[in-house]
Structure 1
Amino acid sequence: MKSFVYLLVISVCFCHFSYSQSTTDFGIKGGLNLTFIKVQEANFGDNIEVKAGYYGGVFVDVPIENNLSIQPEVLYIGLNDFRFINAPIYLNYQAANKFYILIGPSLNYFFDFFSNKFKVRADLSVAYQFTKALDVHMKYTLGFEEVTPNGLFIGLGFRL
């Protein structure tokens, strides 16, 4: 966990100081998390269970070019008694006026696993910016392993 946090802090600091002349934005975000878990049902195959939870955290948006930026985030996710940290590193592309597409890997640390607590997932997100400070976003997280379920996140972001 310590090495993960150190790597994330160093990455954010590097991005921030590398582009200190540009318009780097910081913000907070949060919302609803829907997690899809496959459960074996006797001989009938997989049954998908949906669990609802919450998430909240911070992000930094570092411009690269006109319509392109890098947006790392650190989110705390709660799902009943299940808790984990989600840290996506997005490539953020402004596809149209006020409409953004974000894609990238997601680094995850699960507090409730006894072993193999660190997992990498893939994220695809879209965002619509209502005002300069407020956006609504939706992301889908794809888990590559059986114990890493897929998730849908719907929420609001606020640039500080």
Structure 2
Amino acid sequence: MKYVMTLFSLFFFFLILKCTAQSNVDFGIKGGLNLTFFKVPEAQFGNTIQTETGFYGGVSAAFEIDENVSLQPELLYIQLSDFKFLNAPIYAKFQLSDKLSFMAGPSLNYFFDFFTNKFKVRGDIATSYNITNALDVHMKFVVGFTEVAPNGLFIGTGYKF
């Protein structure tokens, strides 16, 4: 529960920043469905894939670099059954059209349920489609570089303030 309260605190912090920030920074919230693929040998799909379904939610910020490129860090809380972790991707975001964007970058992860090696780095690729200026649908694929850092598929919605 304290992790959820931390995310809400971050949300309100970003909201206050948005009120005082320049117009080239967007803050938002996002959430949705997470499918995680365990027992995948070395970032490849094998014959022993096990899938867990869970949810994610968190906050994001987009710092405009130019008209079509921005830097978009996020902080997401992810839960799969009893398995919980924080996911912090740092995306280079490319605006392909008024509605469609592509994102790629590293993903920093802190796993609460591991006794050792709690910190893992993964790679993310993502896309989002703007339904309105504030509302989007997005999908991302996360590639774990070791068996302990699982691959995942995220499908959800986001809202920008």
| Alpha-carbon distance between aligned partners in 1 of 2:37 and 2:26, rounded to the nearest angstrom | 32
Q: CA RMSD in A?
A: 1.9
Q: Deviation per CA, 1:23-69, whole angstroms, max 9, x where unpaired?
A: 211000000000011279xxxx7321111000000000110011000
Larger Rg: 1
| Alpha-carbon distance between aligned partners in 2 of 1:115 and 1:80, rounded to the nearest angstrom | 20
Corresponding residue for 1:62? 63
Amino-acid identity (%): 59
Say whether the 8 Å CA contact 2:25–2:62 is kept in structure 1: yes
Alignment partner of 1:152 is 2:157: no
Alignment partner of 1:119 is 2:120: yes
Corresponding residue for 2:72? 71
CA drift at 1:96? 1.7
Corresponding residue for 1:51? 52
Gaps of 5+ in 2: 1-9
Corresponding residue for 2:7? none
After superposition, residues 66-145 of structure 1 pair within 5 angstroms as 66-145=67-146
Q: Deviation per CA, 1:6-36, whole angstroms, max 9, x where unpaired?
A: xxx9xxx9xx8xxx54421100000000001
SS in 2 for 1:96: coil
SS in 1 for 2:24: coil
Gaps of 5+ in 1: 1-8
Number of residue pairs matched by the alignment:
140
* TM-score, normalised with respect to structure 1: 0.83
Which has the higher mean CA deviation after the structures are superposed, 93-102 or 134-143?
93-102
Instruction: Select the structure that is richer in strand.
Output: 1
SS in 2 for 1:116: coil
Report the residue type matching 1:61 in the other structure: A
* TM-score, normalised with respect to structure 2: 0.82
Say whether the 8 Å CA contact 1:38–1:46 is kept in structure 2: no
SS in 2 for 1:65: coil
